[in-house]
């Protein structure tokens, strides 16, 4: 994961990983943030009963949640210190039933704006041999909420 | 909830409610299917810790999952007996932080096709006085998988 | 078309209609702005060769353009005097081949925010008897660019 | 533009280019189909008054139409001989005002299914020095209409 983006916050990785750690909904189901570079973020989720639907595949709502987070955190790598990101909207296509030992959501920033950013996320099924096959793609708009200026 | 749609399956309500009952992911978080008429479906979800994010609002992934289901089941009211529905894709806009005693997702079919249906879902926050305020809207494409002909 | 919205600009109708009049791309193909109330806008487009594709239906790109405009102008009815609206993104589902004497795009605001608004647009085929049948739906995010403060 | 896709129709390029040639709406505004390989398609559109809006940028409706076509034709490279493609739906994000000598829409297939395919399209502004800067991205669902079997 190379990157042409220059982060505004030198400590972007720490800020993103702390925010991710506070997301109980993700960490409690076993999601792990892997690569994190300016403009990109990858989140891996191993299969378990907690993330499955009745046929034993990954649940669509879980896939969307992980993809949404990968895009949002990719955007957050490029925001100023103290800023927060909110999902304005996304669109997701499901490409195949997600039956695999794990899924990997790779989000990247397509446009980094002061207020609005646009990201694109590919979610792959990770085979036991490490092979990747796409199971969903997501296109997303993220809003940055700038930190309030501190008035002394 | 009036309806101009004529269901193909006389027992559509039973088929939909049985499918909903098997969706452990929804029932385990307290989701309840309320109104169900041809072409429309409403699902209510009370607030609880299980469906919240760190600030105490409904989690976006939960909102999307409930909305996705309301649209899919609205479409399923119009399918032939034995058919199944799959989400091809959806697009969701988040309108406001969902802070309320409950949310109510109302899905309705805009186009009912043999293979593809299109639905639109509005998710409202339900106040303690029963008032409704929108927190998300979702537009969705659903695929119907027809039952296989039985060969004797 | 009733409305619960209170416009910020008393002269919203004039502002919207002037902007529409400057949109050469729409007026040159015969589009007409019909109803305009706070939060809603309807644009009608009669059929002609200029708006058709090779099979004699309305062209999908034309349908999207008219729907995009109906949503954007619905949002503009609620902005402050001097503000402009930009389309951030939209998602459109095509429901049926649009073969009719005219189409009618009805846009309405679902969320009116200071910076971001969300609209939903239904496009109907208008029969020679005035009947309406849906041919497309569009869900859209609009950004308001506030007028710059004038410094004397 | 490399490709891992194996086309079903040996003469896919001829079929796609013939279909494109019949699209009067595109060719009449100067659109040219450039690269075409299995699973991918690029369409270039030079700037002219016919494709501009009032401020002298490419019109959003034109950008969407070219992107929609690039995705649809990318999907068509993988269909059987005689099949046709229809746009089910798409979602487009506008990233920047498109002010350039030309735009280039690059569509690629993410999922090729018998009935439904999913594509992703990036639209770039092409500078006079050949540089590319993104101005829109589009995510799309395409339906393949198989040719009817000929009964003698």
Instruction: Determine the residue of chain B that is closest to C111 in CA distance.
Output: B95
Q: Mutating which of A89, A92, A111, A114 best tests the C interface, going by the most C Cβ atoms within 10 A?
A: A89
Residue C4 has pLDDT above 90, yes or no: no
pLDDT per residue as tens digits for the range A111-140: 999 999 999 999 999 999 999 999 999 999
pLDDT per residue as tens digits for the range B36-76: 999 999 999 999 998 998 888 999 999 999 999 999 999 99
Q: Mutating which of A111, A122, A123 best tests the D interface, going by the most D Cβ atoms within 10 A?
A: A111
b/e B34-71 (16+ beta carbons within 10 angstroms → b): eebbbbbbbbbbebeeebbbeeebbbbbbbbbbbbbbb
Give helix B12-22 / helix B60-76 axis angle, nearest 10°: 150
Measure C56 CA to nearest chain D CA, in Å.
12
Q: Are the Cβ atoms of A118 and D95 closer than 8 angstroms?
A: yes
Q: In a structure prediction context, what are the per-residue pLDDT tens digits for chain B, which is 152 residues long?
A: 556 899 999 999 999 999 999 888 888 899 999 999 999 999 999 999 989 988 889 999 999 999 999 999 999 999 999 999 999 999 999 999 999 999 999 999 999 999 999 999 999 999 999 999 999 999 999 999 988 776 66
Instruction: Determine the residue of chain A that is closest to D96 in CA distance.
Output: A111
- Chains in contact with C, where contact means 3 or more Cβ–Cβ distances below 8 Å, are A, B, D
Cα B45 to Cα A32: distance, rounded to the nearest angstrom: 28
The H-or-E segment that residue A105 falls in is strand A102-112
Shortest CA distance to B65 belongs to which of A139, D117, A94, D89? A94
**Is the model more confident about B149 or about C94?**
C94
Q: Are the Cβ atoms of A120 and D120 closer than 8 angstroms?
A: yes
pLDDT band of A54, cuts 50, 70, 90: confident
Q: Are the Cβ atoms of D116 and B143 closer than 8 angstroms?
A: yes
pLDDT per residue as tens digits for the range A65-95: 999 999 999 999 999 999 999 999 999 999 9
Residue A108 has pLDDT above 90, yes or no: yes
pLDDT at C53: 86
Q: Give contacts of D141 with chain B, Cβ < 8 Å.
A: 88-89, 141
Measured between CB atoms, which of C23, C59, C90 is closest to D54? C23
pLDDT per residue as tens digits for the range C24-50: 888 889 999 999 999 999 999 999 998
pLDDT band of D17, cuts 50, 70, 90: very high
CB within 8 Å of A98: residues ≥ 6 apart: A57, A58, A63, A123, A125, A135, A136
pLDDT at D150: 67
ipTM: 0.94
Instruction: Determine the residue of chain D that is closest to B142 in CA distance.
Output: D88
């Amino acid at each position: 994961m190379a990157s042409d983006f220059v982060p505004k916050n030198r400590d972007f990785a720490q800020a993103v990983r702390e925010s991710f750690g506070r997301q109980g909904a993700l960490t409690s189901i076993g999601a792990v943030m892997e690569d994190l570079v300016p403009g990109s973020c990858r989140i891996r989720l191993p299969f378990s009963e907690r993330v499955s639907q009745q046929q034993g595949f990954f649940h669509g709502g879980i896939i969307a949640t992980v993809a949404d987070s990968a895009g949002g955190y990719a955007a957050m790598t490029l925001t100023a210190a103290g800023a927060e990101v909110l999902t304005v909207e996304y669109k997701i296509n499901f490409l195949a039933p997600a039956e695999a030992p794990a899924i990997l959501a790779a989000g990247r920033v397509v446009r980094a704006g002061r207020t609005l950013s646009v990201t694109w996320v590919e979610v792959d099924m990770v085979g036991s041999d490490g092979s990747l096959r796409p199971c969903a793609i997501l296109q997303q708009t993220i809003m940055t909420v700038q930190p309030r200026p501190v008035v002394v």
